[in-house]
Structure 1
Amino acid sequence: MSNPSLVSLLITPYTILLLFVLYYLLPYLAKTHWLFIPAPFPAAYTNLWLLWQARRGRRFLAVNEAHKKYGKFVRIAPNHISIADDGAIQAVYGHGNGFLKSDYYDAFVSIRRGLFNTRDRTEHTRKRKTVSHTFSAKSIGQFEQYIHANIELFVKQLTKLSQTQRNPKTEYASIDALNWFNYLAFDIIGDLAFGAPFGMLEKGKDVAEVRKTPDSPPTYAPAIEVLNRRGEVSGTLGIIPGLKPYASYLPDSFFSKGLEAVENLAGIAVARVSERLKPEVMANNTRVDLLARLMEGRDETGAKLGREELTAEALTQLIAGSDTTSNTSCALLYWVLRTPGVMKKLQEVVDEALPERVKVPTYAMLKDVPYIQYVIQETMRIHSTSSLGLPRQIPVGNPPVEICGRTFLAGDVISVPSYTIHHSTEIWGPDAEAFVPERWAPERLTARQKAAFIPFSTGPRACVGRNVAEMELTCIVGAVFRNFEFVLEQEHDMETREGFLRKPLGLAVGIRRRAV
């Protein structure tokens, strides 16, 4: 009988089991300074726990529940600590700390890296310099004409619906408000970012042209559905970005359909930029919109954005400026309707601020009306469209950093969960789960609350489009409550699902035209 080979001696059920254990144990033990930080099982040993929560669309809730159970510091992955302390916000996201975006953002790259997903500090500085002038006060003032025109069409279409679909018994027409806020937000960002609306308000449905390359024949796809799928799959693959090249082969169709959505969303940007850059269009163009400003932008060397980079940045604007606005508008209507007295007060302050014949207000008419801003801010707090903790990595060579009494080392990934901070009773008081617009009155708002409010993040990576978003939301709120009355028709709470952003799944309301 021959002697057993060395390989057969080494490959036994016990060695396989040992390798399996070491595969998960070593990442845990490698972070000796984290050994006593609690974690939901098995998050300390594998990224699969966080991947599973993201796949279910409930990452923000799972992390929030973990903080309630384990406290301020929670290990949500072998190399990721979530810090539920507002004292960590500036340390993690503020200017001058030099922290980088983690590899989570690699999953969001499609055409090429843009301002949102670039991780290199020098490249980000170059891109931000090129793009930031797009959102100057002067530029934003010029954008309002396009926002206003689409809100006018929105009011016209809802007026028609409220009349043609009115239930004689209730006097209200039944609609899914989310759909119409989606159509409005997409048409506005289409107008701003690509030179023309998508036509969703006009058609009353979700459709957009797609081109794989500038010269490809057009196909069509539901842009809102595509954007939702893209956010969900990218937010999930960001947990294990190395999985992205193989994700379409996974048995779960969530991944293959999501990656198809990534391609379609990029194709929408390619199609719209190609249309805008046609010589005959450019020759007669007098528009002053986001794309025009992006085409004017130059970096420190005087170089403009190339076509591919221009398309990538236009895609970023499409993503950042569409469902963020529709999510917030929908959540605002929901919380206003379920909170007694808020709709009536909103209508009163809007009516008081507007001249009698004005149905669609300008931003200047409403921007200084306190109660409108209180309602918008309270919606962004309690709904938290960006609910997850945006992950940051301490760069190689960085000295140890102390945050909230704990030491973190180069290579560590840390985040501050927005939803948990925005719902903290320690910060916001015992009524943190209630919708209370009045908490934003200057005499009630504390310095701590003001600093802990981060719907647009903070620091060098904060949302560059914040001022456009605030203008848009203010004008939408004014137009909606100037022209319509609503009743909540669903008995259950508004359901949401998280991708990169937290998205309402629908909002059944009754609508009728106001007599003003």
Structure 2
Amino acid sequence: MSAIASSLDPSSLLYILPAAFVLVHLVPWLLDPNGIRLYPGPFVAKFSDAWLGWVARNGHRSEVVHAMHQKYGPIVRIAPNHVSIAEPDALQVVYAHGNGALKSQFYDAFVSIRKGVFNTRDRNEHARKRKIISHIFSQKNVIEFEPQIRLYVSQFLGQWDRLFDGARKGESGPDGEGGWRGENGRLWLDVLPWANYLSFDIVGDLAFGAPFGMIEAAKDSALVPRNQENVMKSYGNKDVENEVDAIPAVKILNGRGEFSMSMGVLPAWWRPIVRQLPWYRNGSKDVQSLAGIAIMAVAKRLAMETDRVDLLSKLQAGRDGDGNPMSREELTAEALTLLIAGSDTTSNSTCAIIYHLAHNPHVQAKLHKELDEQLGTEDLLVATSDQVKRLPFLDACINEALRIHSTSALGLPRVVPEGGLTVVGQFFPEGTVLSVPSYTIHRDPSVWGEDTEVYRPERWFEGDAAMMQKTFNPFSTGPRACVGRNLAYMELQIIVASILRRYDFVLEHPDHPLETREGFLRKPLGCKVGIRRRDL
């Protein structure tokens, strides 16, 4: 090929290269090997992955795909070999146990240290990893982590009390504390950075044996080694903190999510080329830096002389079906998954829940009433897991926010197995990529009513409860569903109950919607509120 190209003059190449580009995209459409040409969708998406790549790069994939469903109907072609199906009944088929569907090449873009339980596509390897990991997040084991969660929620409330007392005196805080001020008897600040500090410190303690110290410092900071390879080789060495740098972990995590999402929707052969573009080069650095945070944290944890029980110790103790433990590299890869899944999802959800409660004062008042009635006589700063179990309106408030603002809102892609799949009456042959967008099915009027964009927790006590639960998909479903959902939900219950019992909230700009940007997860860009401590 190179010899042919070198024999051609430049003027010939000007015609040949565009023609080749057109043929590469036109021929698959004409041949239509998976029989999906007749499904409607954006014009460019029929021929090229560039449409979905551009949409993902701009940070609003779920909203754009939702708009395509509103325009074209429940089945939309969003890439040459990718069909989005916005039907609740499709969830139980596309993501079902035993249907043989595998994760697509999309997940290869999320591999950094090595493939983990989240991004491995091999069925046998996933089963091996899940056998080691899943028992860690059983309801029984999750309760063991409650004291650590409550410890950091207590520290969080202590910091907000300190700022509130300062705000009443007319003081204001530096940007390092997220920026805050006192006005009209309230503390005014942005919830998002504080939600990040809380979730990172919780996952730091649970996964690595020590917090990142973000709540205490009121700062986004974590340590990474300057030489990751050396630290990987010297796990257990007490000198691992030498030659390290402090980096903004939350910022790095956001960059990594956007990079991996944008890269994942592109064909594998495009990726080495696209990585050379400036924005993507920065994303590659974020991937390396985030891996460095996990490598550093695991190294420090393994150097500790302790018998404490945490997620890492349970991972170390786990064995696969052959009785083998995880290797150090594998252990670190899973720890990185825990870091990502246990921090960003919780902080995003906490911020969204507080926004919606502040935006709907009548709902907030109703939740305050339930908290006061059920917890008011119990002199505890932080709610317990036993207490939050008897708070149905709290659950409704959390679930309604997760419906409107699912942190994982996009349709997770699956490859149709040998023999094909029939989904909502349509047959899709082997090799077709299918997805069911949570963002869109969470707005299906036939399930949730006509007011799907309204935050109304009362809907969870009305209508067809079985259908709502069947359609509700904040943690995915099937064999590849989030293994940590029990822990994540308990965290949210304790965090929201404790914060709302102590404070009431108003929005700084009530008319402004909650702005978001989507990498792999859909993240709020901020939530500025006025806080007042309640009289209990």
Give the TM-score of the pair, scaled to structure 2: 0.91
Contact 1:496–1:504 (CA<8 Å) still a contact in 2? yes
Residue 358 (structure 1) aligned to one of 377, 380, 389:
380
Task: Give the letter aligned to residue 340 of structure 2.
Answer: I
1:157 aligns to what SS in structure 2?
helix
Gaps of 5+ in 1: 1-5
Aligned to 2:189: 175
Contact 2:220–2:248 (CA<8 Å) still a contact in 1? yes
Q: Is 1:331 paired with 2:352?
A: yes
| Counterparts of residues 51-450 of structure 1 (less than 5 Å) | 51-166=53-168, 167=170, 169-211=183-225, 212-213=228-229, 214=231, 217-240=243-266, 241-250=268-277, 253-278=278-303, 281-282=304-305, 285-354=306-375, 355-395=377-417, 398-441=418-461, 443-450=462-469
Aligned to 1:463: 482
Residue 474 (structure 1) aligned to one of 454, 468, 493:
493
Alpha-carbon distance in structure 2 between the residues aligned to 1:94 and 1:405: 16
Q: In 2 relative to 1, CA 16–367 (structure 1 residues): closer, same or farther, beyond 3 Å? A: same
Q: Deviations over 1:409-455 (max 9, x none)?
A: 111100001100001112211011111101112x5343222201111
1:76 aligns to what SS in structure 2?
strand
Q: Deviations over 1:331-388 (max 9, x none)?
A: 0011111123111111111121113421211111112211011011111101111110
Aligned to 1:3: none
Contact 2:106–2:264 (CA<8 Å) still a contact in 1? yes
1:184 aligns to what SS in structure 2?
helix
Contact 1:234–1:500 (CA<8 Å) still a contact in 2? yes
Task: Give the letter aligned to residue 301 of structure 2.
Answer: R
Q: In 2 relative to 1, CA 35–286 (structure 1 residues): closer, same or farther, beyond 3 Å? A: same
Q: Deviations over 1:122-143 (max 9, x none)?
A: 0000000011121122211111
Q: In 2 relative to 1, CA 230–12 (structure 1 residues): closer, same or farther, beyond 3 Å? A: closer
Residue 153 of structure 1, CA deviation: 0.1
Aligned to 2:4: none
Alpha-carbon distance in structure 1 between the residues aligned to 2:146 and 2:13: 70
Residue 12 of structure 1, CA deviation: 7.3
Alpha-carbon distance in structure 2 between the residues aligned to 1:15 and 1:274: 53
Q: In 2 relative to 1, CA 154–445 (structure 1 residues): closer, same or farther, beyond 3 Å? A: farther
Task: Give the letter aligned to residue 276 of structure 2.
Answer: Y
Aligned to 2:30: 29
User: How big is the alpha-carbon RMSD for the aligned residues of Structure 1 and Structure 2?
Assistant: 1.9
Q: Deviations over 1:284-340 (max 9, x none)?
A: x13211111111110000000111100000100000010100100100011111123
Contact 2:37–2:46 (CA<8 Å) still a contact in 1? no
2:39 aligns to what SS in structure 1?
coil
Task: Give the letter aligned to residue 382 of structure 2.
Answer: V
Q: Deviations over 1:437-483 (max 9, x none)?
A: 01112x53432222011111000000010100111000001111111
Alpha-carbon distance in structure 2 between the residues aligned to 1:201 and 1:242: 43
Task: Give the letter aligned to residue 204 of structure 2.
Answer: G
Q: In 2 relative to 1, CA 249–203 (structure 1 residues): closer, same or farther, beyond 3 Å? A: same
Alpha-carbon distance in structure 1 between the residues aligned to 2:287 and 2:363: 39
Give the TM-score of the pair, scaled to structure 1: 0.94
Q: In 2 relative to 1, CA 245–8 (structure 1 residues): closer, same or farther, beyond 3 Å? A: closer
Q: Deviations over 1:481-505 (max 9, x none)?
A: 1111211002411100000000000
User: How many aligned positions are there?
Assistant: 503
Q: In 2 relative to 1, CA 145–77 (structure 1 residues): closer, same or farther, beyond 3 Å? A: same
